[in-house]
C-alpha cells in the first residue's frame, strides 16, 4: 500500500483510420474486479478535486478526454502523474492521498473502482489519514 504500487497501466489500443478503440476487462487489464464506474466532467478551469484517500478502494483513473494532473502522496513520497491519453490508466492502490488539478477544458476523468461508493471508505482529513497510514496496524 505505498506509492511504488501506483503505476501507469498501458491499455490496449486498436488503431483504426475510423477512430481508435480501447477496452478494459476487470482482473485482466486492471488488478481488481470493476464494481463501479464514474466520471468527472464539466470541470471549471482552475478547479481542484480529490483531497482524500481510500481505506480499501482500488481505482484506475483515465483521462478519457483532455488532460489533468494527479498528485499521489503516501505520506513519505509524492508523485505527479500527467494524464493526457485515453489509453493510459493510473492505478491507485488503497491508502494513497490524492489531489487532482490542472484540468484542461472539456476534460473527462473516468474512474473504474473496485467497490460501490461508501463514504466510510474515505479519509477526507489528511492528518487522520497520516495517523492511520503510519500506525503499526497498517505497516506493510
Q: Where are the alpha helices (DSSP H) in the chain?
A: 126-133
Binder of ligand TYD out of 23, 33, 38, 47 (CB under 6 A): 38
Q: Closer CB to ligand TYD, residue 25 or residue 116?
A: 116
- The CA distance from 97 to 57, in Å, is 12
DSSP letters for 94-131: SS-EEEEE-PPTT-EEEEEESS---GGGEE-SHHHHHH
The piece of 34-42, 63-71, 76-84, 85-93 that touches ligand TYD (CB under 6 A) is: 34-42
Q: What are phi and psi of 133, to 5 degrees?
A: -60, -40
Binder of ligand TYD out of 1, 9, 11, 40 (CB under 6 A): 40
Question: Least separation, in Å, of the C-beta of 122 and ligand TYD?
Answer: 7
User: For residues 42-101, which are near ligand TYD according to CB under 6 A?
Assistant: 49-50, 52
The partner residues of 65 in beta bridges, in order of sequence, read: 108
The piece of 27-35, 36-44, 65-73, 130-138 that touches ligand TYD (CB under 6 A) is: 36-44
Q: Closer CB to ligand TYD, residue 14 or residue 124?
A: 124
Catalytic (active site) residue 82: no
Residue 13: how many other CB atoms lie within 10 Å = 14
Contact 46, 28 (CB under 8 A): no
Residue 41 within binding range of ligand TYD, rule CB under 6 A = no
Residues near ligand TYD (CB under 6 A): 36, 38, 40, 49-50, 52, 117
Catalytic center residues: 52
Amino acid at each position: 500500500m505505498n506509492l511504488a504500487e501506483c503505476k501507469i497501466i498501458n491499455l490496449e489500443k486498436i488503431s483504426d483510420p475510423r477512430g481508435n478503440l480501447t477496452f478494459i476487462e476487470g482482473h485482466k487489464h486492471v488488478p481488481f474486479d470493476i464494481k463501479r464506474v464514474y466520471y468527472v466532467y464539466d470541470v471549471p478551469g482552475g478547479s481542484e478535486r480529490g483531497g482524500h484517500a481510500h481505506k480499501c478502494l482500488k481505482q484506475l483513473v483515465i483521462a478519457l478526454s483532455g488532460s489533468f494532473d494527479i498528485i499521489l502522496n503516501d505520506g513519505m513520497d509524492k508523485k505527479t502523474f500527467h494524464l493526457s491519453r485515453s489509453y493510459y490508466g493510473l492505478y491507485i492502490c488503497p491508502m494513497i492521498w490524492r489531489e487532482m488539478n490542472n484540468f484542461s477544458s472539456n476534460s473527462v476523468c473516468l474512474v473504474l473502482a473496485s467497490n460501490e461508493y461508501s463514504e466510510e471508505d474515505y479519509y477526507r482529513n489528511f492528518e487522520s489519514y497520516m495517523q492511520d497510514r503510519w500506525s503499526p496496524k497498517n505497516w506493510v
